[in-house]
Structure 1
């Protein structure tokens, strides 16, 4: 197994934190997402997300190739990618509306909570992706959970800003 793949798949060892390494990985994804957005806005954030997803897929495949367990709990690069998908609506809104992304803090909380819920409970399509039993499934279930969380973030923002007028 490649040491580089292990470092990437565990996000520099964050995946070894207990309890709840997936939650630690998702938490670590937040300041990284903020920094990436600040450096280049939505487009840069999207490019880095795609790159992390592809590199993460390689790292997961390399890390798990000789293991009986296809998704060991210390692998958290998938949580990073999924959490970033959940944050895409915030990065897009901040960029297009020329807002400080920090001002969208309620959306950050919603994205984190929704992503963790969908990642833990694995509804419908998240469970389907998880059942693949391979490196793609490890990454894909979190990307799908992130996508569902992103839709939830959009709906909650619409509710807060539209219906409630906040």
Structure 2
């Protein structure tokens, strides 16, 4: 197996069935929680930036010569988008002074669920990026979904903490 395939499928998590995108997102959440625990928000932010760059580099390499660049086994885009979504609660916890081993479950669960919602639903800019049908679109739709999920997670946290507590 090639290094391009290893990275594009995010260590072969994109080969899991059914719903490889959901598996890729779940693996991304688990890895994101580990990154948060090791180095808090700054490490997660750095890793997110690196995986975005890596995704834009590896997706065209992996799909070169393929008719459809948006193959279901490619999940590095889910990792990038999911980590963008996770950055919202990670930043909030870091900013609030919580220790790195503290990442309460509502934050990461909300980031996961909102990301999957926007990635599947594909509203507005997510859908526009998906309709590009090129290697940049493979990454861009998930980055937009991650941004939307981050915003939705922040709003949900504001409602939960402002209204429910």
Alignment TM-score > 0.5, same fold: yes
Q: Shorter-chain TM-score: which interval?
A: over 0.9
- How far residue 103 of structure 1 moved from its aligned partner, in angstroms, is 4.3
Matched with 1:44 is 43
Instruction: Please give the residue correspondences for 1:35-114 in structure 2 after superposition, counting only pairs within 5 Å.
Output: 35-100=34-99, 102-114=102-114
Structure 2 counterpart of 1:142: 142
Q: CA-to-partner distance for each residue in 1:28-73, whole Å, 9 max, x for gaps?
A: 0011101111222212211110111111111111111110012000
Q: Kindly tell me the number of residue pairs found equivalent between the two proteins.
A: 164
Structure 1 length normalisation: TM-score? Answer: 0.94
RMSD of aligned residue pairs (Cα, Å): 1.3
The alignment partner of 2:104 has SS state of: helix
| Alignment correspondent of 1:120 | 120
Contact residue 129 and residue 137 of structure 2 kept, 8 A: yes
2:152 is aligned to 152
| C-alpha distance in structure 2 between counterparts of 1:53 and 1:103, whole Å | 23
Partner of 2:163: 163
Counterpart of 1:83 in 2: which secondary structure? Answer: helix
Structure 1: gaps (5+ residues): none
Unmatched 5+ residue regions in structure 2? none
3-state SS of 1:133 partner: coil
The answer to whether the Cα contact below 8 Å between 2:90 and 2:103 also exists between their aligned partners in 1 is: no
Secondary structure of the 2:68 match is: coil
- How far the C-alpha of 1:17 sits from its partner, in A, is 0.7
Q: Do the aligned partners of 1:5 and 1:58 also contact (CA within 8 Å) in 2? A: no
CA deviation map 1:99-118 (0-9, x unaligned):
24644211111111110011
